[in-house]
Chain A
Amino acid sequence: MIESRYGEYGGTYVPEMLVPALQDVAAGYEKYRNDPGFRAELDDYLKQFVGRPTPLTLSRNMSRKYGFKLYLKREDQAFTGAHKINNTIGQALLAKRMGKTRLIAETGAGQHGVATATAARALGMDCTIFMGEVDIERQKMNVFRMRLLGAEVVAVKNGTRTLKDAISEAMRSWVTCLDDTHYLFGTAYGPHPFPAMVKDFQSVIGREARAQILEQEGDLPACVVACVGGGSNAIGIFSGFLKDEAVRLVGVEAGGCGIDSGKHAARFQGGSKGVLHGSYTYVLQDKYGQISDTHSVSAGLDYAAVGPEHSMLRDIGRAEYSYATDDEALHAFRELGMVEGILPALESSHAVAWAIKNAEELKGKTVIVNLSGRGDKDVYTVAKHMGVDI
């Protein structure tokens, strides 16, 4: 059996109607996760379709400028431009083996929506994506990409009209079509078995990164850094180094306009323990348990709760969690472009920003930043912040 708890965190806090559905998903995952045929098929898709392994690039110019050896794990080079595809291919293959013909998913930045739509097309499945109206507005290009891939995009108009409401709406929709539809959850969050399953499918990042750094550097890194929204890219790369206790693991949350402003998505800064969307973890909420509105310049980090395993890793001190503000992330976005020729996703820019900010402390050390996605989708947002009309 796959564990449904990470210390006190995690669990299955969902309406009864979803319980049999989640039990089915858990049973299917349990059945196939170590099945050699399934793993071979997944590996083949990851290699031939996604383009894995992704490189571990030594960022020469940044290393020279900042005085520490910066490696970038290039998930931006995975097909569709972010790590999300590792999980969507995995779950879609699983869903197909379970006899499902349709995928539904939530999306914030649109990356998970695009990756789900892509997996659906590749495997001949139907696809519906739920996306908050606010996110649709700030990620127009990804919305059109999903439609070009034959996906139906449903605009979610209730609540804060962002990722949180897209998840609620996808859950509400799923219960009406359980027979033929798999809910392809996008991050290492939500009710059991999603945190465990998504971590499994994202752990390829950590496995590759560990082997690559040993090959290229002959040694483990001092530090591994990743941005944390729900936390799937972070748990994916961390998983490769969890047992290497000398390796410092740093998760970087969205500091938005600053913690004091209240306009942020840094759950470990202003949050407390609670339940949202099926999981017990750190949540941004008021004293009565009403979920707070969050803010981040990056839609993919703009969520009120953090993956339950991250809460445990923080409690036991195996990983530490910091944050970068919108301004710091925007600066890092431009810096990596200007210095190294790589435009990172605004989400990943938070991890880059942390490394830049802590350059003094990292001096002479080897650091891996997980570059979870590419920045093409964000050029409009960045232009707007620069006051440029494109």
Chain B
Amino acid sequence: MISKGDLKLSEKFDRLKAEGEGALIAYITLGDPSPAESLAIAQSLIDSGAVDVLELGVPFSDPIADGPVIQAAVDRALKAGMNTDLAFEIAGALDKKVPVVYLTYYNIVLQYGIERFAASCSRSGVSGLIVADLPHEESGEVRAACARHGVDYINIVTPNTSEARMRKILDGSSGFVYLVSTMGVTGKRKELSQSLRPVLERAKSAAMETPVAVGFGISGPDHVGDVIGKGADGAIVGSAIVDMIAKGASAGDIKEFVTVLKQATKPVTAFAEKK
């Protein structure tokens, strides 16, 4: 039985913390390769039992924070007729056993209507909202609307965000903090930045009680184990999964991949025993 608390980000992270695990946050672009298929993929990710938080991209035609893999996914989704109304239909139709968050760009929220967007998130069970191109200084209206509708507004901080700025941005933050691992755009990378540890420490200190999840470039179990090992509360994997979808991987293949990723969020001993 799923209780409402299960869909709350803070409770999810608390529970994982109590078990000594990090969160696996899996991203897909809604509408890729088609609205119906992305609903099925999203559901199978939830049903895998390996994904702790599902992050759904609501496509925008000009995603300046994204690399080629997600750009291509967005192009496919828009060609397949994806739009914001369908995004809320899909979110509403999902059998949500884990918290679902949206990632989008400001113009998508703005054109739908800020208040209406936040209300629709709440109505269709979307627990949190990430807006990739909305810096703190411009985000007041969206943050207020999210707060009114009980949706966590998820702040983004990056390696070049100063300590003082991090404190300002993360004051009163909720859900989790999205820490970008490295300077650049989304996409798979062979190695993670050497300087992740100090940046992560800075973010964790500024975030206070709010969990910090690391994204951008996290492509496989080694990276996931690495960021969790360095003290992150969660690891966000996007392009690696989107790339599998692009290559026509089966639901089984994707499930197997996220299961391996999930193992890497667990303490080393548990990981070793399962092996």
Instruction: Using CB atoms and an 8 Å cutoff, list the residues of chain A in contact with chain B.
Output: 11-17, 19-21, 158-159, 164-165, 168, 171-172, 175-176, 178, 274-278, 283, 285, 287-291
The residue of chain A having its C-beta at the shortest distance from the C-beta of B63 within the complex is: A168
Asked if B62 and A164 sit within 8 Å, CB to CB, the answer is: yes
Residue B122 is within 8 A (CB to CB) of chain A in the complex: no
Complex Cα gap A370–B160 (Å): 42
Given contacts A12-B137, A291-B107, 12 further A-B contacts (CB under 8 A): A13-B106, A13-B134, A16-B158, A16-B180, A19-B161, A20-B161, A20-B162, A172-B184, A274-B110, A275-B106, A277-B64, A288-B85
What total of A-B pairs shows CB separation below 8 Å?
Answer: 104
Output the residue of A285, A288, A290 with the most chain B CB within 10 A. Answer: A288
Q: What A residues does B156 contact at CB under 8 A?
A: 15-16
Asked if A274 and B111 sit within 8 Å, CB to CB, the answer is: yes
Complex Cα gap A168–B158 (Å): 19
Complex Cα gap A15–B169 (Å): 13
Which residues 111-147 of B have a CB within 8 angstroms of A?
A: 111-112, 132-138
Instruction: Using CB atoms and an 8 Å cutoff, list the residues of chain B in contact with chain A.
Output: 59-65, 67-68, 71-72, 75, 78, 83-85, 106-108, 110-112, 132-138, 156-158, 160-162, 165, 169, 180, 183-185
The residue of chain B having its C-beta at the shortest distance from the C-beta of A171 within the complex is: B64
Q: What B residues does A172 contact at CB under 8 A?
A: 64-65, 67, 184-185
Asked if A290 and B162 sit within 8 Å, CB to CB, the answer is: no
Asked if B111 and A287 sit within 8 Å, CB to CB, the answer is: yes
Contact of A19 among B71, B83, B135 (CB under 8 A): B135
Complex Cα gap A20–B137 (Å): 12
Contact of A276 among B62, B67, B137, B160 (CB under 8 A): B62
Asked if B138 and A12 sit within 8 Å, CB to CB, the answer is: yes
Asked if A20 and B106 sit within 8 Å, CB to CB, the answer is: no
The residue of chain B having its C-beta at the shortest distance from the C-beta of A278 within the complex is: B133
Contact of B183 among A168, A178, A275 (CB under 8 A): A178
Asked if B180 and A275 sit within 8 Å, CB to CB, the answer is: no
Q: What A residues does B71 contact at CB under 8 A?
A: 158-159
Q: What A residues does B106 contact at CB under 8 A?
A: 13, 275
Q: What A residues does B162 contact at CB under 8 A?
A: 20
